[in-house]
Chains A and B, each alone.
Chain A
Amino acid sequence: MTGDSVFFSRVLTETTLTFHIIYATLGVGVPLMIMIAQWIGIKKNDQYYILLARRWTRGFVITVAVGVVTGTAIGLQLSLLWPNFMVLAGNVIALPLFMETFAFFFEAIFLGIYLYTWDRFENQKKHLLLLIPVAIGASFSAVFITIVNSFMNAPQGFDLINGQLENVNPIMAMFNPAMPTKVAHVVVTAYMTSAFVLASIAAFRLATGSKHVYHKKALLLTMKLGLVFSIATAIIGDFSGKYLAEYQPEKLAAAEWHFETSSEAPLLMYGILDENNEVKYAIEIPFALSILAHWWPSAVVTGLDQFPPDEIPPLYIHYLFDTMVTIGIGLLLLSLIYWFGVKRGWSFVHSKLFLWFAVLSGPLAMIAIEAGWWLAEVGRQPWILRGIMRTADAATTNPNVDLMLVLFSILYIILGIGTIIVMIRMFKRNPIEKELADREIEKGGMLK
C-alpha cells in the first residue's frame, strides 16, 4: 500500500507542479514586461505602449488568479503528500517559505490596487509606481520558493546527530551552494519566457493579417527583451553546469550520459540509449562537457561509475536536458536574427514564415520551462533531500492519494481549458482596433 502512496504522491506532485509552473512563470515575468511597456509609453509619450501595458494586464490578472489557486494547492499538497519531508523541512527551511507568503501578500495587495485604479490617477507616473511592488513581490516570491528547492538539492545549515536535528541555522540553509545559480536561472528564464509568450501574441496578429503598428511595436519590444534574457539565461546556464559538477555530479553525469569518469570529456547532444546503455546517434562536441563543468578542456568530469546504482537518477533526463538547451539556443538565435533584421531592414523578418516561427516562440519557451523543471526534479531522484532523505521515505501513508490524483487532474483540465477560452474571448471581443477607436471617442467626448 505504501508503495502505491509513494507512486501516486509523486505523480500528483508532478501534475500539480507541471500545471502550476505555467502560471507561476507568467506571474513572475509578465509584471516586469508590463512595467517596461508602461514606462516606455510614459517616456516616449506613446499611447500604444500604454495600451500594451493595459491589455497585457487584463490577461495577466486571469493567470494570476488561477496561479493563486494552483499555488495554494501545491502549498497544501506539500504537507498532505510529503508529511515526513515537511516535518524535517519545517525545522530547517521554513523561513523562506514564510517569507514567500509575505512577498506574495505584498504583490496581491498592490496588484489589486493597480488593477482598479487605471483611471483614478491623473498622473500616469503615479500609477506606474504601484506596479513596482507588484513586480518586486512577484520576483521575490520566485526567489524564496526557489531557495526552498535549492535546499532540497544542496541541504546544509543543520547537523543530523543520531537522527536528531541539531545546530539548525536557517540563514545557512537558505544560502546553500545551489541557491545562486538556481535562483538566477529561475527568475531570468521566467522573464525570458514571458517576453516570448507576449511576442507570440503580437506575432500571431501580424501573421494573420493585421498590419497595425501597435503589434509591430509590441513584437519588436518583446523580441528585444527576449534576446536580452536569453543571453542572460545562456550565461547562467553555464554556471549551473559548474555548480552541478561540483555539488551534484550525479545529476550532471546522468543528464549527459557520462558513464565513466574522464578528462577531456565531450558533450553529447541528442542520441538515444539502447538496451545495453550504449549511446547511439549522438552528436559529440569535443571537450565541451569538461568546459561546461570546470572551465578547462582537460578537466576531469565525474561519471556515473562513482555512484552506487541506487543513487543514480533516471537516465531519460538527458532528453529533457536536450529539449531545454535546444529551445533556449533556438530562441536566442531567433530573437537575435529578428533584432538584427529590423535594424538592417531585412525584409524576410517580416515575412509570414518568420512570423510563424515567432508565434511558436512562446509555447516553445514554456516547453523549455517544463523540461527544465522536470530535469531539476527527476534529476534529484532518488532523493527528496539530497543525501539525507529518500523520496520513498517522505511520502504520506494515506491510501487515498490515487483518488485525489483523479480529482486534481479533472480540476486542472477545467482550469486550463477555462483560461484558454476566457483569454481568447476577451481579446477577440475587444481587438486593438476597436479599443483604439473607443478611446478616441472617449477623448473626443471629453473635449466637448
Chain B
Amino acid sequence: MNLEIIGISVLMAFLFGYIMVGAIDFGASFFNAYSLIIEKEHILTNIIQRYLSPVWEVTNVFLVFFFVGIVGFFPQTAFYYGTTLLIPVSIGIVLLAIRGSYYAFETYGNRGHKGYAFIYGLSGLFLPASLSIVLTISEGGYIYIKDGKPILDYWVLFTEPLTWSVVLLSITAVLYISAVFLTWYANKAGDKEATRLMRKYALIWALPLIITAAGIIVELKGHNPEHFDNIMNLWWMFAISFILWCMTVYLLWQRRNYGEAFLLLVAQFALAFYGYGISHYPYLLYPHLTIYDGFTNEAMAISLIIAFILGFCLLVPSLYLLLRLFLFSKKYVSGK
C-alpha cells in the first residue's frame, strides 16, 4: 500500500464520518421545522435538544478535518477546487453559519422563535445539496481550463441531470439516515409517540433513497462511462449494500431492534460510499487530477499520517466518553 492510498483512505474516513453525523444533524433540524408546521413540535424538539446541542460542534469538525486534510495530502486540489468552488462553497459556509448561530442563539440563549427554527430546518436540506455539488463536479465535464485557469461552467452544472440526481440523493439520504437514527434514539428515550413518528418518516424515505441512488448509477453511464465501468466491476459491494438496506427496512417494519437497524444502515452506506470512492480511483477530478499527480511530498505525507495516528489515539477515548454520556446513557437520553 502506498502513501497516496493511505492518504485518500484517511480522508474518506473523515468524509464518511461527516456524511453520517452530518446527515443526522441536518435531517433532525428539518423534521423539527416540519413538526413545527404541522404543530407537533413538542414531540421532536426535546430529543433534538438533548442529542444535537452537545455534539454539533463535533459534527462540524469532521468537515474541517476533511478540507484541511485534503489540502494537506493533495495540495493541488486547492488550485482546482479552491478556484472554481468559490460561490458554491461560500453559500455552504453561509448555510453552516445559519446552523451554528441557531445553536448559539436559540438553544444556548433564549429559544422559541419559529421563523428561525424554520430557516434552520431548511438549511438542513440546502447544505447537503450545496456540498454534494463537489462530488458532482469531481465526475468531470464541469470544469474547463482557459489560459491555465480552471473555470466552472455553471450552465453545464445546472442543466446536467446528474447534478440534480446527486442533489436529490443527498436530500433523501439525509432524511432517511436521520429518521432511522432518531427512531432508535426516541425509542431509547422511551418516547413512544416520537418513535412512531420517526419510524413513519424512515419508512417513507427508504424507497426514494434507493431509487435516487440507482438513478445516479444510470446517469453516470452517460456522463462518465469510465467511472460507470469501474462501478460495475465492484457490483458486489453495491449488491451487499442493497441487501443491508432491505434488512434495515425489514426491522423497522417489524418495529424491532432499532439499534441494529441503524448499525445496518451505517454498514449499508459505508459499502456504497467506499464502493463509490474505490471506483473513483485514481481520480480526484476527472480528467485533470489524480491522487498521484496531486500528492504532497513524502516527508509531509508521513508526518501527516503520524499526526493522524497520534490524534486518533487521543480522540477515540474522548469520543467514546462523549457518546457514553449523551448517547448510551439511558438516564440522560430519557431526560432524567
Interface residues of A (CB under 8 A from B): 58, 61-62, 64-66, 68-69, 71-73, 75-76, 78-84, 86-92, 94-95, 97-102, 104-106, 108-113, 115-117, 133, 165, 168-171, 396-398, 400-401, 403-404, 407-408, 411, 414-415, 418-419, 422-423, 425-426, 429
Select A80's contact among B58, B82, B101, B304, beta carbons within 8 Å.
B82
B333, chain A: closest CB distance, angstroms? 12
Q: Which residue of B lies closest to A426 (CB)?
A: B109
Chain B interface helix/strand/loop/mixed: helix
Q: Which residues of B contact A75 (CB under 8 A)?
A: 64, 67-68
A432, chain B: closest CB distance, angstroms? 18
Choose the segment among B172-180, B231-239, B259-267, B317-325 that binds chain A (4+ C-beta atoms closer than 8 Å). B317-325
Q: Which residues of A contact B55 (CB under 8 A)?
A: 112
Bound-state CA distance A95–B311 (Å) is 12
B303 touching A170 by the CB < 8 A rule? Answer: yes
Q: Which residues of A contact B296 (CB under 8 A)?
A: 90-91, 94
Per-residue A-contact encoding for B63-99, CB less than 8 Å = 1, 0 else: 1110111011111111101111111011011101100
Bound-state CA distance A111–B69 (Å) is 23
A31, chain B: closest CB distance, angstroms? 14
Bound-state CA distance A408–B105 (Å) is 19
Per-residue A-contact encoding for B261-288, CB less than 8 Å = 1, 0 else: 0000000000000000000000000000
Bound-state CA distance A76–B63 (Å) is 10
B307, chain A: closest CB distance, angstroms? 6
Query: Are A65 and B108 also in contact (CB < 8 A) when A79-B67, A83-B82, A106-B314 are?
Result: yes
B228 proximal to A (CB < 8 A): no
A106 touching B307 by the CB < 8 A rule? Answer: no
A65 touching B104 by the CB < 8 A rule? Answer: yes
A66 touching B100 by the CB < 8 A rule? Answer: yes
B101 touching A113 by the CB < 8 A rule? Answer: no
User: How many residue pairs bridge A and B at CB < 8 Å?
Assistant: 208
A426 touching B89 by the CB < 8 A rule? Answer: no
Select A68's contact among B60, B82, B110, beta carbons within 8 Å.
B60
User: Can you name 29 A-B residue pairings with CB atoms under 8 Å?
Assistant: A58-B108, A61-B104, A66-B101, A72-B96, A80-B85, A81-B86, A86-B79, A87-B76, A90-B74, A90-B75, A91-B297, A94-B71, A94-B72, A95-B307, A98-B307, A101-B61, A108-B60, A108-B61, A109-B318, A112-B57, A112-B322, A112-B326, A113-B322, A113-B325, A116-B325, A400-B86, A408-B94, A415-B97, A429-B110
Q: Which residues of B contact A403 (CB under 8 A)?
A: 87
A80 touching B100 by the CB < 8 A rule? Answer: no
Q: Which residues of B contact A407 (CB under 8 A)?
A: 90, 94
Residues of B in contact with A, size category: 35 or more
Q: Which residue of B lies closest to A174 (CB)?
A: B303
Query: Are A396 and B57 also in contact (CB < 8 A) when A87-B75, A99-B311 are?
Result: no
B308 proximal to A (CB < 8 A): yes
Q: Which residues of A contact B74 (CB under 8 A)?
A: 90
A116 touching B304 by the CB < 8 A rule? Answer: no
Q: Which residue of B lies closest to A102 (CB)?
A: B311
Select B110's contact among A94, A108, A398, A426, beta carbons within 8 Å.
A426
Select B101's contact among A78, A79, A102, A415, beta carbons within 8 Å.
A415
Select B108's contact among A62, A71, A95, beta carbons within 8 Å.
A62
A92 touching B300 by the CB < 8 A rule? Answer: yes
B242, chain A: closest CB distance, angstroms? 34
B100 touching A65 by the CB < 8 A rule? Answer: yes
Q: Which residue of B lies closest to A60 (CB)?
A: B108
B257 proximal to A (CB < 8 A): no
Q: Which residues of B contact A111 (CB under 8 A)?
A: 57
B82 touching A397 by the CB < 8 A rule? Answer: no
B256 proximal to A (CB < 8 A): no
Bound-state CA distance A353–B58 (Å) is 45
B58 touching A108 by the CB < 8 A rule? Answer: yes
Bound-state CA distance A404–B93 (Å) is 11
